[in-house]
Structure 1
Amino acid sequence: MANVVVVGVDASPSARKAAEVALDLAGSLGASLHVVTAFEMENAETFGVGSDKVRISNADSSEIVAKSLGASRPGVDITHFAARGKPADSLIKEAIRLDARVIVVGNRRMRGIGRLLGSVANSVAHNAPCDVYIANTYED
């Protein structure tokens, strides 16, 4: 088993909290961190004027989070990957590909009606090829 921690992110604050937990866990384990964004359909917006334009896509979330985490914890090797597909399936595929030690997910949509409809954390926990750490990302 490789010494890799996989974390799933999107552009939400709760995903950022899960990524920070994953970074701490990777640091404690002496592992590398692999930040994954999954998207079923790419959404992009262009900002700026003239030749000073920048295009931001939901597929860029993993890169943005990975770079910002890298600045806060220089001792951990951080990689990123964007995958087309459902979030839980993409995390599991990356964990299998990397022979990951643990997958970190946030607990968003694990309360109330979201619990009945399903969540990424629930799907990953039931199908992961490795340990799963569900980070508390609620504010309350």
Structure 2
Amino acid sequence: MSGIVLVGVDGSVTARRAADSAKNLATALGAELRVITAFEGAHVEVVESGGDKWILSDADEAEKVASKVAAELASDQLTTSYGAVFGKAGEALVKEAERVGAKVIVVGNRRMQGLARVLGSVANTVAHKAPCDVYIAKTDEP
């Protein structure tokens, strides 16, 4: 199988566990691994110091998180890419899967129990709206 395995990360330990599962799956399938981070804010800040000017945004910070994880997961056997996607995590994963034609979305099982299971979670959102297969990785335990 070629194609894209998609995973979302947010800097948490459980998201990293899902990313590790996505790496293993993508490597086994001969697929590309695409790592994204969702962001909801449209905050932009301009910072000036002397003659230098920097524009910082929520999108930039999200992309840094995704870039770092993608770089850590890359190997000779695995091509990785990364990006930042506007929206809530579950919706952003679905939107990106549609955009890139992902074959599989990997999500963690965090918040799949108790009250959060009823109110919704990233995994529930993705499972109900995904345009492709969904793999739910066990991330609530090491």
TM band (smaller chain):
0.7 to 0.9
- Name the structure 2 match of 1:67: 71
Q: Decide whether the 8 Å contact of 1:36 with 1:82 is kept in 2.
A: yes
- Name the structure 2 match of 1:47: none
DSSP 3-state at the match of 1:28: helix
- Name the structure 2 match of 1:83: 85
Q: CA RMSD in A?
A: 2.2
| Percentage of pairs with the same residue | 51
Post-superposition Cα deviations, 1:28-86, rounded to whole Å, max 9, x if no partner, equal 00000000100112689xxxxxxxxxx8834421111111111xx32110000101111
DSSP 3-state at the match of 1:104: strand
Moved more, 35-44 or 104-113: 35-44
What TM-score do the two structures reach when normalised by structure 1? 0.83
What TM-score do the two structures reach when normalised by structure 2? 0.82
- Name the structure 2 match of 1:136: 138
DSSP 3-state at the match of 2:110: coil
Q: How many residues align?
A: 129
Give the gaps of 5 or more residues in structure 2.
Answer: 45-55
Q: How does 1:46-57 map to 2 (within 5 A)?
A: 57=61
Give the gaps of 5 or more residues in structure 1.
Answer: 45-54
